Structure 1
Amino acid sequence: MKVREAKPEDILSIVDFQIAMAKETEGIELHLPTVELGVKAVLNDASKGRYYVTEVNDEIIGSLLTTYEWSDWRNGTVLWIQSVYVRPNFRRKGVYRNMYSHLKHKVLEDEKLKGIRLYADKSNISAHKTYKKLGMSPEHYTTFEWLK
């Protein structure tokens, strides 16, 4: 299992994962051309975020996106994990654990990075258990949003 930063040629796998994840976790049918443009925007501009993929035998089996939050309290950047997807036949085999470990190592090695955050749907109990096993805590913040 190998974790690496995504390359432009990984776009089809990442787009497929995003479409599948939205349908699986929230019952949402995403607009394919919009998702393609969104993934391409990140792959072409690292200031928007970075995708990471996990490969087994040159097959991409999982991905996640990190975006950035500036923390004035910490004078540094917190990485937000988003858009996590692992192919169903590779789940419960340490794929996410490896991606998370890869990111945690990056944070520990870089003084400018101060931590990792993510959000998970309240009903996604399986994901909550996974994150807690890796030492993440739900903390005391509640996420609010307004989306157009």
Structure 2
Amino acid sequence: MVKYQDTALNDIFSALADPTRRALLARLEGEDALSISALAQPFEVSLPAVMKHLNVLSDAGLITREKTGRTVSVRLQAEPMAHAMQWLSRYEHFWAERLDRLAAFVEAAPDTDFGPETANSAKSPKRPKPTAKKAP
């Protein structure tokens, strides 16, 4: 078996897997730099939790930190995301082709209801409700 390891790519996708980290990156997107306290302000998590998220983002190369006096500023470092986008774009044609075929299939299908009721009724037939037994 061939094992393909790209540690940088693994770190990027791992960092982007968490919704809080994605939200932190989104906050940095429109800003030149934010202090850690300003960045953490809208989140309902503790400052140490935010620091752990920032460590993961920093390890993946998605942010940089700069200390000026007692203030640490955080900046978005978007270049590593280009590496992830290159990897994803290799598979884009694969999924686009399959989705196009699925759309053609659905459009060519006769008027059939593919809703959840139809799917559920095909899987499990209706059963009679159990009746309560009276105690002797």
TM superposition score normalised by structure 1: 0.25
Q: Which has the larger radius of gyration?
A: 2
TM superposition score normalised by structure 2: 0.26
Higher helix share: 2
Higher strand share: 1
**Which structure is richer in relative contact order (CA contacts within 8 A, separation 6 or more)?**
2
